[in-house]
Amino acid sequence: MKRLWAKCAVAMCLLLVFVCVANAQLIKEIRFSAAEGYSDGLLEGQPAGADDVWTNGVADVSPDSFVVSNESLVITPEGVDRWVYIAFPIQSSGAITITWEWQYVGPEDSNVDIGFCIAEMDNFMLDGNSDLTWNEQSCMTRMQQGANVIDVRDGDWAGGGSYSAFEDYPYTDGKLIFMRYEIDVENQTYDVYAQKEGEDEVMLADDYGYRRETIEGLNSITLWDDGDAVTSSVIIDNIVIAGPAAVSDWQLF
């Protein structure tokens, strides 16, 4: 019931945002809810009855670490490189804002390697096969394994670049973290913000370049799981894409 009320509150805030911000449109939202066609079980192939569903990104490797549970997505690393993606209407101009929330669940001395990416699906065939990989993605943020912080890929538009963040931002304290991309689609750059529940928002990245340039535009949410097999997991929920005008400083949560 608590999560249901939280989802309703987010929806009401979204309505107010779109009323108040000129030219802002809801492009896609994913709340893993029964109303959208989601049910408990493997994420692949959901939501039921939708034109666009979550798709396995690596042939011959089942994405069974991605599971819908209680109207949220739960990702539990199993020591194998796994990817899933879902399409949204292509965005080729202006700016878009993407928000989501994620939360680490597990021992504070453990970690995960899980990423949230935005990409152009045409780039998935750059290496001649449809298996997803990192240098085919554009905007990339991860809960990284090692320093146990959230960082962001500052790309060179050709598949390279490096991860960094303006400050160390640990995630293993288990606090709910609200994330925000502000993407300049035309210049192919993006900013990233994070806000832990009950704390101030901080900027993690400013004017970072895409890892891989786009030709037509952005049209995919891509998730990866590449950590060691652990008992820890990450819960992801309330994914919202808005545009073509940027929606800065919106209070969704």
The single residue listed with the structure tokens 């997505």 is 73
The pTM score is 0.89
d(CA 125, CA 243): 27
Where exactly are the structural domains of the chain?
2-244
Amino acid identity of residue 75, one-letter, is I
d(CA 44, CA 47): 9
Question: What pLDDT does 78 receive?
Answer: 86
pLDDT in tens, 190-243: 999 999 999 999 999 999 999 999 999 999 999 999 988 788 999 999 999 999
From residue 74, alpha-carbon distances to 104, 134, 140 in Å are 10, 21, 19
Check the CA dihedral 247-151-85-93 and report its sign: positive
pLDDT in tens, 142-200: 999 989 999 999 999 999 999 999 999 999 999 999 999 999 999 999 999 999 999 99
Q: Does domain 2-244 have CATH number 3.30.300.20?
A: no
Helix-strand-coil split of the chain, %, nearest 5:
10, 40, 45
Asked if 65 contacts 82 with a C-beta cutoff of 8 angstroms, the reply is: yes
DSSP 7-37: HHHHHHHHHHHHHHSTTEEEEEEE---GGGT
